Structure 1
Amino acid sequence: MGRVSRTTVAIVGGGPAGVVLGLLLARAGIAVRVVEKHDDFNRDFRGDTVHASTIRLLDELGLGDRFRALPQSRLDDFSLPMADGSQLRLGDFSRLRPPYDHVAMVPQWDLLDMLVGAAREEPSFDIVVGRAASDLIVENGLVVGVHLHPYDEPDREHEELRAELVVACDGRDSVLRAAAGLHPREFPVPFDTWWFRLPKGPGDADTALVPAFDGSDVLLSFPRGDYHQVAYFAPKGSDARLRALGVEDFRARVARIRPSFADRVSAIDSMDDVHVLDVRMDRLRRWWRPGLLCIGDAAHAMSPAGGVGINLAVQDAVAAAAILAPAIVGGVRGRSLNHALAAVERRRTPPAVIVQGAQRMLHRVVFERAFAGRLQGGPPILPAVLAKYVPPARGLYARGIAFGPLPEHAPTWARPASDTETEQT
């Protein structure tokens, strides 16, 4: 038997959902340990879009200045290319109230480092890295902890981390979700994405997000500090074929879709610089069992369409903290804690359903049409007409992207004292 350690809440997964939940629970004075399998957060091509709902939350937590000090760029609008070469502004963030009138592009490792730094200021917060969860500890039908092992050495002696509650934030391939026998409903996704970087040119836009379509090819680029983070979309299962065609074919493909990138595609040295994401979309019917809760991608894997995954996961964490912290501090156990877990599921399932429904519609009317070569006449007619002739629609589109359904606010007890005093006056 390996070492045994204890905490009140064990959070498995050091992504945005896990770290935000750990920070909030620690501010409630609850002993919490976050377990992250990697040694650091420095992994490229993770979701980096921080929407207005998350920026507002950081301000409410007193972390706005730290966040704005991070290297970042901003997206002020979302446009679609038209058949005549013009661009149609679909989402106009300037119609939103500052400072929540944009989407920030922030390297996720910088965001997580900032959040962990803030969480470490709380005496009840702890984080361990380089440790992976292999299984749940279950006694009399109740989850009471997790088995951990060194991430790179799964055969080494396991550690038992025992807790009153385990929260699975370990992503769309959640080990704990599978160990709990919680099986998600899967939805078909017509594409995968290939991510790569290209250097930014002196005349490149810094604040706009514009997709490009050519035949059945789709390209989307996000402006970053001194480079573009680019996503190439192709029908699911195309990875082997694209790699077999080689880097020269891929460079030519990118230059054809976005001619303004033709002078820099040589920056793609080989297909090793192109990272495929097997896009999946699923959602749990039930997010919990006694002693265990799943949130974020462990509860609902999202499509990259709209870049909402991080923000929906963060909103899950805020709602979970707001519901669970009073219950845990109050000393509830057993059935009462189960009621709190069920309340988290009830609150956060509708936003997940709405967002995934919107993504599935976007898949049908944009991506499936694009792969069939039927987007040459421009974007779908209804959103185009609304955006062009009904200007307030651009603000509604922008608000839907920036805040999403049911954005959460930081609980009063998690805010700085000065902010709480101001709110009360």
Structure 2
Amino acid sequence: MTTHTTRRDTPTEHTTCVVVGGGPAGMVLGLLLARAGVRVTVLEKHADFLRDFRGDTVHPSTLGLLDDLGLFERFAAVPHSKIRGVRVPAGDGSQVTLVDFSRLPLRHPYIAMVPQWDFLDLLADAGREEPTFDLRMSHEVTALVRDGDRVAGVEYETPDGPGRLEADLVVACDGRWSVVRREIGLASREFGVGFDVWWFRVPTSRDLAESLLPRFSDGTALIAIPREGYTQVAYLGPKGTDAQLRARGIEAFRAEIARALPQLADDVDGIASMDDVKHLDVRVDRLRRWHAQGVLCIGDAAHAMSPVGGVGINLAVQDAVGAATLLAGPLRQAQKAGHARGIDDVLARVRRRRIVPTALIQGLQRAMHAGLIDRVLDGRLTGFPSAPPRLVQRLPALSVIPALVVGVGPRPERAPTWARRTTTPVAEGAGVGEGRTTPTT
């Protein structure tokens, strides 16, 4: 384990909880703990949230959470598109809605596609309304502070120099390449993945259906996601082939996309160069333990997810809600008493609460990898399997089952009572201003 020495002139501060990483899990956790009256500091290494293809899906369960937090009206004001289903080709040439979110008996039965930076900015603005919330951008955590065997804070770098923030609890929300996860050396279980994903945009003015469009043929797998003014495309290919893909050049790449997505054939020139095609190294793993003394990992820092189903953000947000629900009381007590006793006893409970949904979703993703994606990419399968569409054609109600798995997931979390703000229900499609938010008493 790495040993770090703090410079004598490094400024030192103290907070009750420091959250490392300002992604969806970190921002939701910070907001919820602040609403509980916990002093919480979120450290984000970047100067802003402006990064492409960082997971733009906001699932029905997360939309319900925003409603409970009194934030849905603000979210509805952000330009976004809606995914109401997943359509696949049937054997007779028609399209079948295999996954139908509109059948879910929920307030918001769809997946909202919104740039992640808009979602994070919304959470940041809500957090700043709480007196105990502190978000610090351009703060890159570089090491952990230790008090014997216990993690007691973090060291960080900023454009103005280094700093040290002591805390009763450190929560790692800094993703699959987590610095905190690496520093504490927790063992993980790795699951092999044979493919990677390349993300890109195809600008288009075409009016596309509010559905995901998977296309599988001739060793190619694509998923087209309708967005405002463009289509976001995930191109799936064998792991380790990024250099070969780029060596083929942009013309060959455009031609392949046009063949796979003929409805976008006239628009593929909008992919300016291979620099617009962003590579994602797909990993699936999970920690065997999510905590050590004084530190907890959640979200991708605890379990890297495949992009299949777009469920990684939803799972990370639900981790944050579950963790806040369990930790708010002990953190308030520690804050009042001036010591961290009692917090460590709760950390293992967070994993116990969230490990079953994590393992189930990863298991389903791995089954999709083996049964569909791997078979398409190695040529064993030349199109989408015909049995599921035929079954759903006969029994359309079955389309709600995968919608429930993807849109809600096992073990959904609800906002704790102390974090809620009552909101008059906003009808599906209602305009901004048709709901009213008041504090929960």
| Deviates most, 214-223 or 85-94 | 85-94
What's the counterpart of residue 402 of structure 2? Answer: 397
Among candidates 336, 343, 346, match of residue 349 of structure 2: 343
C-alpha contact (below 8 Å) 2:202/2:268 kept by paired residues: yes
Aligned to 2:171: 167
Superposed, 1:11-26 pairs within 5 Å as 11-26=19-34
Please state if 1:222 is matched with 2:230.
no
Q: Pick which of 63-72 and 327-336 moved more.
A: 327-336
CA gap of 1:417–1:85, structure 2 versus 1, over 3 A, is: closer
Contact preservation (8 Å) 1:12, 1:35: yes
Structure 1 moving runs of 4+ over 4 Å: 332-335, 417-424
Are 2:146 and 2:152, in contact at CA under 8 Å, matched by a contact in 1? yes
Q: Residues 226 and 293 of structure 1: is their aligned pair in 2 closer, same or farther, counting only changes over 3 Å?
A: same
User: 1:204 & 1:85 partners in 2: Cα distance?
Assistant: 18
Partners of 1:46 and 1:300 lie apart in 2 by 16
Deviation at 1:15, TM superposition (A): 0.2
Q: Which runs of structure 2 are paired with 1:62-211 in the superposition (5 Å)?
A: 62-150=70-158, 157-205=161-209, 207-211=210-214
Q: Distance in 2 between matches of 1:128 and 1:335?
A: 27
Shift of 1:386: 3.6
Say which SS state the counterpart of residue 310 (structure 1) adopts.
Answer: helix
Shift of 1:256: 1.1
Q: For the Cα contact (< 8 Å) 2:70–2:423, is it kept in 1?
A: no
RMSD of aligned residue pairs (Cα, Å): 1.9
Once the two structures are TM-superposed, the CA of residue 129 in structure 1 deviates from its matched residue by 0.6
Q: TM-score, normalised by structure 1?
A: 0.94
CA contact (8 A) 1:168 1:295 kept: yes
Task: Report how far residue 339 of structure 1 moved.
Answer: 1.9
Distance 1:313 1:216, change over 3 A: same
1:83 touches 1:376 (CA, 8 Å); kept in 2? no
Report the Cα offset of residue 183 of structure 1.
2.7
Alignment of 1:261-410 (within 5 A): 261-331=264-334, 336-376=342-382, 378-379=384-385, 381=387, 383-410=388-415
Take 1:411 and 1:134, find their aligned partners in 2: how far apart are those partners? 32
**Inter-partner Cα distance in structure 1 for 2:29 and 2:74:** 18
1:412 paired with 2:420, answer: no
CA distance in 2, matches of 1:388, 1:422: 46
* In structure 1, distance between residues paired with 2:195 and 2:310: 15
SS at match of 1:306: helix
State which drifts further: 185-194 or 293-302: 185-194
- Check 1:32–1:214 CA distance in 2 against 1; reply closer, same or farther (3 A cut): same
**2-side partners of 1:138 and 1:98: how far apart?**
45
Q: Which runs of 5+ in 1 are unaligned?
A: none
1:330 shift after superposition: 2.4
Return the letter of the residue paired with 1:392: A
Relative to the length of structure 2, the TM-score reads: 0.91
Q: CA deviation at 1:261?
A: 1.5
Deviation at 1:199, TM superposition (A): 1.3
Question: Judging changes above 3 Å, is the alpha-carbon distance between structure 1 residues 371 and 328 closer, same or farther for their aligned structure 2 residues?
Answer: same
How far has the Cα of 1:418 moved from its partner? 7.2
1:35 and 1:131 in contact (8 A); partners too: yes
Would the aligned equivalents of 2:223 and 2:234 in 1 still touch at CA under 8 Å? yes
**CA deviation digits over 1:74-102, x for unaligned, max 9?**
01111222344322211112211253211
Shift, 1:110, TM fit: 0.3
* Consecutive unaligned residues in structure 2, runs of 5 or more: 1-6, 425-436
- Identity over the aligned pairs, expressed in percent? 52
Stretch moving more, 254-263 or 50-59: 254-263
| One-letter amino acid matched to 1:212 | R
Give the distance between the partners of 1:417 and 1:201, measured in 2 at CA. 39
**Partner secondary structure for residue 336 of structure 1:** coil
Asked if 1 retains the 8 angstrom alpha-carbon contact of 2:53 and 2:199, the reply is yes
Q: Deviations over 1:317-372 (max 9, x none)?
A: 00000000011112386663222101101001111101000000010111011112
